[in-house]
Amino acid sequence: MAEATDNDTTMQPADAITDFHICSNCPGNLQDTATSCGHRYCLTCIMQWLDNMTCPCWTIQLFQNSMLQDQLFHSFIDHLPRHAQTLKKHLEMTIETCQKEIKLLKDQIAFKEQHFKKETDNLLQKLSVAQSEIKEKEQQWNEIENKFENEKNNTRLLMEELEKSQHNRKMFEAHVEFLEGENAMLKDQLGSLQHIDETCRLLDEKFTKIEQDRRSLIGEIDRTSSENQELIKQVEEYKWWSLMRQKPDVSQLKQELADANENKERMHQNIKSLLNQIDRLTEDLYKKEQKLIHSRHFIILEQ
């Protein structure tokens, strides 16, 4: 350890001064110091190392005749009481300074504690609010999870419905395709039905015309018959007056009567033939009309 002078002794810290007068071997307070290599020891302590032992610090051989009294240290120790007042004043100033610093530190601690208490209260309040918010968020999270599960189930159900819809769509498309084919066939049948309706209409018109012609022919026959009757009557009257006025030629009269009867018979045959033709044509038209009606009903039933 370095030795302190008279001028810097008062400025040494207490621990340094204490280390200065501690034995390097015991370690205890130095008393009756002795030194041989620059290290200080108690005389009774170092005597245990003499003759056959080395210095406890330096591992060099020590001998009793090499031991020296440390007069400088003794003078330093003797000098210390004269500076005790200075050291005491220094210590008092140090204590006062420390007390002021302690008071300042206590004030700062009190201020910090008050500030810390406010901050703690604020933090506790914020913590309470945060815990409430956390609880609320947890509830919201649970609600969201429940909604998510519900949406997940709904999505699964929708996917199943979508698959069913796709299956139904395929079936519907197949049915539509089938109906389109049926529609095309029905259009063809409708065209045939329209053709049948047109044919029926034409046949009805023909039948109506034939019926009108028949009625006209019957009227004409009736009129002709009336005219023939009138003509026969006139011929009979003429014959009568001729007989009354002159003697008639019997052969000529017979010939005229035969011609009249022949014309009458021929007219009756023509009328009968026309009536038979009208009946046959009417029957054919009726059969065709019944056939067309049966075909129309069959097409409607197929639809």
Q: What number of other Cβ atoms are within 10 A of residue 83's Cβ? A: 13
pLDDT of residue 196: 65
pLDDT of residue 159: 87
HEC sequence for 196-223: HHHHHHHHHHHHHHHHHHHHHHHHHHHH
Label the pairing between strands 68-69 and 33-35: antiparallel
CB 62 within 8 A of CB 54: yes
Cis? peptide before 27, omega within 30° of 0: yes
Residue with tokens 């005229």: 256
pLDDT of residue 209: 75
pLDDT of residue 194: 67
Q: Is the pTM of this model over 0.75?
A: no
Dump the DSSP string for 233-247: HHHHHHHHHHHHHS-
pLDDT in tens, the chain (303 residues): 334 444 444 444 444 445 555 665 666 666 555 555 556 666 666 666 555 555 555 555 555 555 555 556 666 666 666 677 777 888 888 888 888 888 888 888 888 888 888 888 888 898 899 889 999 989 999 998 888 888 888 888 888 888 888 888 888 788 778 877 777 776 776 666 666 667 667 767 776 777 777 677 777 666 766 666 666 666 666 666 665 555 445 566 566 666 766 766 777 677 777 777 777 777 776 776 676 666 666 655 655
Q: Domain 1-69 - what CATH class? A: alpha beta
pLDDT of residue 2: 37
pLDDT of residue 90: 82
Q: Where are the domains of the chain?
A: 1-69, 199-302
Per-residue CA distances from 143 to 49, 150, 158, 201, 248 (Å) = 88, 10, 22, 77, 137
CB 252 within 8 A of CB 173: no
